[in-house]
Amino acid sequence: MHISQQLAAQAVGQVLAGRNLSIVLEDAFRRHHAITPQQRAVAQDLSYGTLRFYGRLQAVLDMLLQKPLTDEYIHHLLLVALYQLSFDRAASHTVVNQAVLAAAKSKKSWAKGLVNAVLRNFLRQQSELEGRLQGNELALYSYPGWWISKLRQQYPQHWQAMLEAGNQHPPMTLRVNRRHGNASGYLEELHGAGLSATLLSEEAVVLEQPTPVGRIPGFSEGRVSVQDFGAQLAALELDVSDGMRVLDACCAPGGKTGHVLELADVSMTAIDHDPQRLQRVRENLDRLHLQADLITGDAATPDNWWNGVPYDRILADVPCTASGIVRRHVDIKWLRREQDIASFTRQQAVILQGLWRLLAKGGKLLYVTCSVFHEENQQQIDQFLHTQADARLLPYRHAQLELTKGQLYPGKEHDGFFYALLQKV
């Protein structure tokens, strides 16, 4: 276990220094290629868990230390061990002993003694320490203060539930390929394979427990895909039919691209600025036995790749803060800064204006973010409608989107998304 603790402590430190967690873990596993699959899985779980509850863990550690630690590795190792003692099922004495072994990596004579003392003090004082967290919002919710304040202001009736949803483990939801059946029939197939699941819609089921895709019936044959239920609404809202010319801008990793092609026989162009991410789209489409014209290009500069023929439908899944999917990407909470919102909104406005020129008269553009911040969502659309005389906002096809004016709150069944369907008149 101490190898996993060591890798997790290093990963947490790098994320708090500004790096993406997925990239950090990939680099770590590449360097430590001899570790077992179980050690990799534990290191990943500890990294995600520590960052998910970083605000709470840091507040507890501050109370346990007489003065701030200058050794960053030991600091982050203690956070990882505190996560285990607070949320993991591992035996407490094992966690402490393994953390002491992991502390030896620092080669500081005092490190093992300090780690042992701090963790044992936590076990003795746990109830008292947790009681002292009351009133500390950063500790209670484990989000930056600016994030908490913004959600409280923008969602006075929902902000607490939204914060709490972002700290839950995400569900594993499957999208059943409509060309190969429906969710009701597939649900029986899952049960036959010993996998418990619940029906969400005509083509969506959620697994009771996350499962490796290799164990999911029909995955390798393209009969089913992994996709959040909220994300599945994109292709449905786009309102496609056979023969249309469709553009999926910012398409990687290709979940929505594939879904559109499952729903109708369209001429699909899918673009992304990153060739490596575009390769993932190709792999997904190959698994689904579907075809699209894949182009490396920037949605903000369509003149560099557009052939001049208008599209009937455009899916604009624009870059955003990703504030609606933090339970899947726990590092986002600590990587984002409040000023990043303005940067994203400027980028979104440029993309929206640029793609609008590519839309045929009477055509529809679906604007999508995985954000919950108003600036990136309804305020962005209001500004666009104010400046674009030939654009109008259409009603939503999905009842829940109509009820919430396009904003999906993160919750048990889905992540947080925003949708706005615009028509060129």
Active-site annotation, residues: 370
- Given a contact cutoff of 8 angstroms between Cβ atoms, the answer to whether 95 and 88 are in contact is yes
Distance CA 11, CA 21 (A): 7
Residues 6+ apart with CB under 8 A from 183: 176, 199, 200, 201, 202, 203, 204, 205
- Given a contact cutoff of 8 angstroms between Cβ atoms, the answer to whether 237 and 421 are in contact is yes
Distance CA 367, CA 364 (A): 10
Tally the residues of the chain.
425
Buried/exposed 241-270: b ≥16 CB within 10 Å, e otherwise: eeebbbbbbbbbebbbbbbbbbbbebebbb
Determine the Cα angle at 275 with ends 274 and 277, to 5°: 65
Phi/psi zone of residue 181: left (φ > 0), alpha (ψ -120 to 50 degrees), beta? left
SS3 content of the chain, % helix, strand, coil (to 5): 50, 15, 35
Distance CA 421, CA 392 (A): 8
> In terms of DSSP bridges, do strands 197-201 and 204-207 run parallel, antiparallel, or are they unpaired?
antiparallel
Cα–Cα distances in angstroms (integers) from residue 417 to residues 128, 197, 293, 326, in the given order: 39, 23, 26, 12
Sign, CA dihedral 221-224-226-231, equals positive
Q: List the structure tokens of 211.
A: 């499962």
- Given a contact cutoff of 8 angstroms between Cβ atoms, the answer to whether 282 and 346 are in contact is no
